[in-house]
Amino acid sequence: MGAVYFYHLTRRPLEVTLANLADRALAAGWPVAVRARSEGMLALLDDQLWLQPEDGFLPHGRAGTPREAAQPILLTLGSVAANAPRCIFSVEGAAVDPDEVTALDRVCVLFDGHDPVVVQHAREQWKTLTTAGCAAQYWSEEGGAWKMKAESPGAD
C-alpha cells in the first residue's frame, strides 16, 4: 500500500524539487509519471528536466510520443501513463485518486506555498485522500531544509 506525500514549496522552484524527488524515485527503481493540468507546464518541465540536476539530466519524455512506454519519467496530462509508473508526481493541482495512492509505491503532490488558492486546493486534496484512508505526509521547506510537519497513518 502506497502513500501520498505533500510538498509545500516555499524556497526552491518546482523544477528543482521535482528533479531531486524524481531522481530518488528512479534510484528506487520506480518508473515515474509527472501529471500536470496544462501543456504549458509540461513544456516548462520538459525543458527544465534537461537542465536538472546540475551534473546531468533526467531521462524523460512526453506522453503521446512513439517511445512513451519506455520513458523512465513520463510527462502527461492524463490519468493513465503508458510507462506503468510506480510513482506519480502531481503538479498544478492535477487530480489524484485514492485508488492510485493505494496501488502505487508513492504519489507526490508538489504545490506552490506562495499562492493561497493553490495551498487551499492542496488542503482539500489532503482531506479527500486521508478521509479515504490513504497514508499521507506533509513536508515543508520553510526552515530551509525539508521537514515532515504532519502525518496521517491511513487505513490499517
Residue 53 CB-half CA count within 13 A: 7
How does pLDDT run across 28-62, given as a tens digit for each residue? 999 999 999 999 999 999 998 888 766 677 899 99
- Domain spans, the chain: 3-152
Instruction: Look at residues 7, 18, 70, 9 and name the one whose alpha carbon lies nearest to residue 42.
Output: 18
Alpha-carbon distance 79 to 91, whole Å? 13
Instruction: Give 45-54 contacts, CB < 8 A, sequence gap 24+.
Output: 45/14, 45/15, 45/18, 45/75, 45/91, 46/75, 48/15, 48/19, 49/15, 49/18, 49/19, 49/22, 49/73, 49/75, 51/15, 52/15, 52/16, 52/18, 52/19, 52/20, 53/19, 53/20, 53/23
Superfamily of domain 3-152: DNA polymerase III subunit chi (3.40.50.10110)
- Contact, 100 vs 107, CB < 8 A? yes
**Nine-digit cell string for 124:** 482539500
What's the angle, vertex CA 33, arms to CA 78 and CA 64, rounded to 5?
Answer: 50
Instruction: Using the structure block, give the residue that is written with the C-alpha cell 510513482.
Output: 87
Whether the full predicted model's pTM is greater than 0.75, yes or no, is: yes
Alpha-carbon distance 99 to 116, whole Å? 27
- Contact, 87 vs 108, CB < 8 A? yes
Residue type, 2: G
- Residue 155: the pLDDT is 59
pLDDT in single tens digits along all 156 residues of the chain: 799 999 999 999 999 999 999 999 999 999 999 999 999 999 999 998 888 766 677 899 999 999 999 999 999 999 999 999 999 999 999 999 999 999 999 999 999 999 999 999 999 999 999 999 999 999 999 888 999 999 998 755
- Contact, 129 vs 101, CB < 8 A? yes
- Residue 140: the pLDDT is 95
- Residue 9: the pLDDT is 96
- Residue 107: the pLDDT is 98
